[in-house]
Structures are given as structure tokens and as C-alpha cells.
Amino acid sequence: MAQGATLGEALSSLLRDHGARPQDRLKSYRAKDWHAQLVQLTGTHRGYEALERAGVNVTARTLVNWLAEPEYAVRRSYQEQIRSAYEDAATIPPTPVPPEFVVHQFRITGTVQIARDIRDRGTRGEAPLRIDGRNGAWSRIEQAWLTGQLTGEVFEEYFIDDIIVEDIGDGTDGWQFPGDWYQVI
């Protein structure tokens, strides 16, 4: 069960409850100058891989000279590649949307509007809005999640267009969720 001030926030919370993790940053990566970044990168296998991906291809001797002398004259292009490698190594990629989330039977509690019909679903004797995730088209949601662009607002928009409409139809004037609290199970 997840809650949020909007449907999108509640869905985002439920997605995380299913084990999906958004793109994140390792908190230990706080170095500012190129030398400190290089020292940290060369301390881990992950860092060496990031240097390689960034195109830092130098001899072992050059690398030792750079590490030994913080004032060593390093070309600006190498400094930029080191910064790029540092950002790459500091970034933790998101986990994919779990398959069990995509086939989930969603029960939505909160204010639901279709045209002028506004109802509080799941409260005061009303049944929650039930959506079968298996009938949805999840590709836009999954792509937005993996690229870090799945905000609560985007999640709500895509969920309406690609999941709700695919499951139970468009309604007369489309679906809206104008409330200020939602619960999704």
C-alpha cells in the first residue's frame, strides 16, 4: 500500500515498494578537482572501468605521475574526461520496473473524475477504482523510469493514457484525479 498527494506520487511510492530503485548517486563521490577525482577513481575497479569508458587511455607511468603530483600539467581534455568518468562512476543506474508491478491489480482510493462525475473512490462505501495492469502498455512508463524522467506528474499522465484507458476505456472526457490524497494498493 502506498500513499501520495497525487496519484502519480502514490504510484511512484508503490513502484519503489515493489523494489524498483531510481537512478541515484553514490554519496562517497564528493571530490571537486580533477586530481582528487582521479585518486578516488583509481581506488576501485568501478573507477577504472569508468575511466576506460570516458576514453582516458594513458600509460601506467603517466597515471602514476598524475597521481603523485596534484600540480602535474594535465591537458584540459584529460581533466574533462576524468570529470566525466567521475560522474559516470558516481551514478547508480536505476533498476528496471519489476514484472510483478506491470501485472499488478491496482486498487486506487481517492477522488476520481470523468467529465462532471466526481467521486471519492474507496471511501464512504464506494469501491476503489480497480485497474488491471496486465492490459496496459507500459513502454513509456518504463522508458521514463529508466531515464530518470518519471516524475509524479508524468507517471500520472502516462498511467491514465497507457494503463487506465487500455484497461477500461477513455470515458467521456477522459480521466482526472483532482484530489489531494491517494492510496494505491
pLDDT tens sequence across 48-68: 999 999 999 999 999 999 999
Q: Which of 35-39, 71-75, 135-139, 174-178 has the lowest mean pLDDT?
A: 71-75
**Of 66, 92, 118, the domain-final residue:** 92
Residues 64 and 148 in one domain: no
Q: How far is CA 160 from CA 61, 122, 151, 154, in A?
A: 58, 18, 14, 10
pTM for this prediction: 0.77
Residue 168, Cβ neighbours under 10 Å: how many? 14
**Of 68, 92, 116, the domain-final residue:** 92
